[in-house]
Amino acid sequence: MFTPVPNPTTNPVPPKFGEQDLIRRSASTVTPPAKRLTEVAKLIDVSKCIGCKACQVACLQWNNLTEEVGVNVGVYDNPHDLTENTWTLMRFTEYENTETGNLEWLIRKDGCMHCADPGCLKACPAPGAIVQYSNGIVDFVHDKCIGCGYCIKGCPFNIPRLSKADSKAYKCTLCVDRLAVGQGPACQKACPTQAIVFGTKDEMKQWADHRIKDLKSRGFANAGLYDPPGVGGTHVMYVLQHADRPEIYAGLPNNPTISPIVEAWKGVTKYVGLAAIGAFAVIGFLHHTIAGPNRVTEEDEKNAERLTEGRS
Amino acid sequence: MSSSEVDSGDNVHPGKPVIVDRYTVGARLNHWVTAISLVLLALSGLALYSPSLYFLTALFGGGALTRVIHPWIGVVLFFSFLGLFFRFFRLNLWKKNDSVWLGRLREVLAGDESKLPEVGKYNAGQKVVFWSMSILILILIVTGLISWDEYFARYFSIEQRRMAVLVHSGAAIVAICVWIVHVYAGIWVRGTISAMTRGQVTGGWAWRHHRKWLKDLVTTKR
């Protein structure tokens, strides 16, 4: 058993990190702090999940969210997708393993992966609406969010959702408010099987190794850790029985990266575009300076008068 | 009449100087709505385009309001431009002489108009502006609707919306450059602004820059 995050003291404690620990801030440049926090991570062991949805409930409760009563369409996923209120969602897949002939029930807890290279933050046009702390948390700052939905386009995992109530984007915060006072995320706290564990990123990788060895000994030859390098690694990681095929887990992307379209839009386009506008303005100014104004002459007026003479 | 360079509402008033009616009140109002919308769209769009220009959101009451208002101004511009399109497209159809005119861009830029073919109501440069704006505004409204997440997100995939924003920003940049050319031409060619404000130009202006239009006007009006 992984030693869980101990219960906190009931006395108030000062926050362990804050504004001074930001390593990225949307649409702004920050001076990276000299002292880096230890990177944290949440490890979700899909092989241990029993699909009880305690994590979903804990998330709603801790974040004071209420999900609408939905409609049963014959699947276990409830609600059917992530929403502005459901920041984490159990996605159920019935997978027929052709090698063993077994039916495997793959239950993946979906939610923000807290990428080291966050696409949402890259796409965000509002200064400070998305921030990244040096411990790896990517958080949305709602009083700065303008509700444009660019984060949705930037995200390689299709996570953020726009609220119909206040037109702002919402997603898992990794319980930034709990972590700041030394607690673990609410979902991890509620998990009855330790399918969700929380600690430093190194600890989680070690624990994952131990779990993967166990799974391999049980015949899951391709068991492995999902910590995709295309986004610089993530601070929410999965232990998968079939790490060679993450897509069978309700479409978990295989080797996700920030879309090249988003990179082009937020990278080269921005500079080339502003340069082009500037160049056109400068060319106009230079042309006027060199060629001088194109004026109508006295003779032009005379010619027009001659042309219209006798016609009135 | 179809080959004539004269639009309904164009007229010539002999005198000293000769005064020529170029744009009707309707056309001018239509153009003003389009012009103001385009400027507001450029400012609000640039604010969301580059962090260095985010301060422009202050003109619209902050980031969230900028995000709300930008697409609606876009809808206004689209319909307003549609009006301009139907008003102006006939005389903007490409003619053989337009290619000759455009081929002598050096003389055009030097203001040496004696070496250019006689020009109708619109010269080739104005036609290029007209048609590029027509195409760009069509691209902008389509990609704009696709990336208008508040109302249309559910109809398009994320990949489509990503592509739409990229194309939208690219097309907007080109449109702003075309707009700079359009405004600059109006400033450089003195006597042009009154066409936009009062609808009238002098006979000398028409003789110098749009001689075929003036000649057609003189022969068709009485």
Q: Domains in chain B, ordered, with CATH? A: 23-220 (1.20.950.20)
Tokens 């696709």, located at residue: B146
Q: Is residue A4 part of a domain?
A: no
Spatial distance between the Cα atoms of A149 and A110, rounded to a whole number of angstroms: 20
CB of A75 less than 8 A from some CB of B? no
Supply the mean pLDDT for chain B. 95
CB of A289 less than 8 A from some CB of B? no
Amino acid at B167: V
Q: What residues make up the domain containing A232?
A: 19-256
Residue A311 has pLDDT above 70, yes or no: no
Q: Is B70 a catalytic residue?
A: no
CB of B161 less than 8 A from some CB of A? yes
A151 and A237, same structural domain? Answer: yes
A246 and A162, same structural domain? Answer: yes
CB burial string A169-208: b at 16+ within 10 A, e below: bbbbbbbbebbbeebbbbbbbbbeeebbbbbebebbbebb
| One pLDDT digit (tens) per residue for chain B, 222 residues | 447 899 989 999 999 899 999 999 999 999 999 999 999 999 999 999 999 999 999 999 999 999 999 999 999 999 999 999 999 999 999 999 999 999 999 999 998 988 999 999 999 999 999 999 999 999 999 999 999 999 999 999 999 999 999 999 999 999 999 999 999 999 999 999 999 999 999 999 999 999 999 999 999 875
What digits encode the pLDDT tens for the residues A151-164? 999 999 999 999 99
Q: How far is A99 from chain B (nearest CA, A)?
A: 34
Residue A130 has pLDDT above 80, yes or no: yes
DSSP letter, residue A234: B
- Range name among A105-114, A165-174, A222-231, B108-117 with the lowest pLDDT average: B108-117
A34 and A156, same structural domain? Answer: yes
A203 and A290, same structural domain? Answer: no
Cis before B17? omega within 30: yes
Q: Please give the sequence-ordered ranges of beta strands (E in DSSP) within chain A, or none if there are none.
A: 22-25, 40-45, 88-96, 103-111, 130-133, 138-140, 161-162, 169-170, 196-200, 224-226, 236-240
Interface residue of B68, B113, B156, B207 to substitute, partner A, most A CBs within 10 Å: B207
What digits encode the pLDDT tens for the residues A22-76? 999 999 999 989 999 999 999 999 999 999 999 999 999 999 999 999 999 999 9
Q: What pLDDT is attached to residue A5? A: 81
Q: What pLDDT is attached to residue B222? A: 54
- Per the CB < 8 A criterion, the answer to whether A141 and A128 are in contact is yes
- Per the CB < 8 A criterion, the answer to whether A162 and A155 are in contact is no
Spatial distance between the Cα atoms of B168 and B175, rounded to a whole number of angstroms: 10
Question: Does B163 contact A305 at a Cβ distance shorter than 8 Å?
Answer: no
Q: How many CB atoms lie within 10 A of CB B117?
A: 18
Q: Which residues on A lie below 8 Å from B111 (Cβ)?
A: 291-292, 294
| Of B8, B6, B1, nearest in space to B213 by CA | B6
A300 and A184, same structural domain? Answer: no
Q: Is residue A5 part of a domain?
A: no
- ipTM of the assembly? 0.93
Q: Which residues on A lie below 8 Å from B189 (Cβ)?
A: 293-294
Q: What pLDDT is attached to residue B2? A: 47
Q: Which residues on A lie below 8 Å from B17 (Cβ)?
A: 301, 304-305
CA angle B47, B49, B51 (to 5 degrees): 70
Question: Does B184 contact A294 at a Cβ distance shorter than 8 Å?
Answer: no
What digits encode the pLDDT tens for the residues A189-231? 999 999 999 999 999 999 999 999 999 999 999 999 999 999 9
Residue A198 bridge partners (DSSP): A42
Spatial distance between the Cα atoms of A131 and A138, rounded to a whole number of angstroms: 6
Question: Does A148 contact B149 at a Cβ distance shorter than 8 Å?
Answer: yes
Tokens of B51: 């962090």
A129 and A39, same structural domain? Answer: yes
A249 and A173, same structural domain? Answer: yes
Q: How many CB atoms lie within 10 A of CB B167?
A: 19
The predicted model scores a pTM of 0.94
Question: Does B166 contact A261 at a Cβ distance shorter than 8 Å?
Answer: yes
Band (pLDDT 50/70/90 cuts) for residue A2 is confident
Spatial distance between the Cα atoms of B24 and B153, rounded to a whole number of angstroms: 41
Q: Is residue A1 part of a domain?
A: no
